[in-house]
Amino acid sequence: MIRSGAAILVTGGAGYIGAHTCKALYEAGLNPIVYDNLSNGHRAAVRWGELVVADIRDCFALRSAMINFSVAGVINFAGLIEVARSIERPDLFYDINVAGLACVLEAMHEAEVPRIVFSSSAAIYGQPRANSKVSLLKETAAKSPISTYGDTKLTGERMIAAFSAAFGLSGVALRYFNAAGADEAGLIGEAHEPETHLIPLAIKAALGLGGPLTIFGADFPTPDGSCIRDYVHVADLASAHVAALNFPLAAGGFEAMNLGTGTGTSVFEVIAAIDSAVGRPTPYSIGRRRNGDPARLVAASERATRKLGWRPTHSSISEIVRSAVAWHRAPAYGAEGRDKAGLADSRGTA
């Protein structure tokens, strides 16, 4: 159990899931220290603790931050996330996601920080077998990533297991399915640049803030022909990180858990939810399939429920979409919220 007020180093804490997790840590009585180079993160998203602007490949800066703040645990979000880009730029993905994680683990070993929670992904499973048309994906399913991104996440899990066994750390890998939605209070939300995810792109199309959505294939072997995913509210993901930090795991232990809802939602069902939240139809056209998109990815999350007592409570598609629409109507930062972000910066958010 992490003691109240303990400092938790959150690499990538100025990013989407990282910022929501910092809020949850703060509300749980912990002290998030954001470690982010702001290459993709937003200074205005850092509101619940101090900010250290540095890179995860800077092993020395990592170790100094861990020692200076007497860090009790690390949550590692820092990394690149775009699947398509990972295939074009494996150099960057292995450098940041794998060599960067090696720096984090080495610094933890040197600074004697005992616990890491790691952002992993459903991408480690690759293309589930055809018989998974209706079944849920368990943690024991075959792991054969089809993208460099997925491979960096699987490698990251293996590195943590090896460091834990050799040096007595303990690690929990959380395999996210489709993170979506935004903080209820409207202070933080999804602001990727460039944006590639379905829900923000469809909302921007519906609000007239972006071009029409292209649906990547309507000829999949699913009831309506579009891909099915398991969308989880980012606030539910955030609470899982707090639970994972407190999970009683012996030194040297490693656990991996899926975070999803067990409910699949198709692209057309997402669009219908957005139509109703925005109050007008989302403009879209049907295009070709995107490389590497499995027809259906839905998580079995019983392990997280059993081990962490975690259950998603905000992850109905209507709640996810409603919170995301509210954010995109008035983003506090990101492409459409630059002026407001500037204001937040000058007030100081750390």
CA distance 237 to 122: 14
Tell me how far, at minimum, the Cβ of 214 lies from ligand UFG, in Å. Answer: 5
CA distance 74 to 90: 25
- Beta strands 170-176 and 254-259 are parallel
Tell me how far, at minimum, the Cβ of 158 lies from ligand UFG, in Å. Answer: 17
Tell me how far, at minimum, the Cβ of 90 lies from ligand UFG, in Å. Answer: 15
**49 versus 210: smaller Cβ distance to ligand UFG:** 210
Q: Which of 35, 149, 176, 231 is catalytic?
A: 149
| Position of minimal CB gap to ligand UFG | 227
Interacting residues with ligand UFG (CB under 6 A):
81, 83, 121-123, 149, 178, 196-198, 201, 213-216, 227, 229, 267, 290, 293, 297
CA distance 275 to 46: 32
Q: Which phi and psi angles does 138 have, rounded to 5°?
A: -95, 165
Tell me how far, at minimum, the Cβ of 71 lies from ligand UFG, in Å. Answer: 27
Q: Say whether 35 is catalytic.
A: no
Tell me how far, at minimum, the Cβ of 243 lies from ligand UFG, in Å. Answer: 21
**Can you spell out the DSSP letters for 291-333?**
TT--SEE-B--HHHHHHH----SS-SHHHHHHHHHHHHHS-SS
**265 versus 349: smaller Cβ distance to ligand UFG:** 265
CA distance 248 to 338: 42
SS (H, E, C) 125-145: HCCCCHHHHCCCECCCCCCCC
Give the H/E segment covering residue 71.
strand 71-76
**215 versus 242: smaller Cβ distance to ligand UFG:** 215
Alpha-carbon torsion (96, 97, 103, 108), positive or negative: positive
Give the H/E segment covering residue 25.
helix 16-27
**242 versus 259: smaller Cβ distance to ligand UFG:** 259
**26 versus 94: smaller Cβ distance to ligand UFG:** 94
269 SS3 class? helix
**293 versus 302: smaller Cβ distance to ligand UFG:** 293
Tell me how far, at minimum, the Cβ of 349 lies from ligand UFG, in Å. Answer: 26
Closest CA to 307 of 262, 234, 263, 245: 245
Closest CA to 299 of 256, 260, 257, 255: 260
Would you name the residues annotated as active-site residues?
149
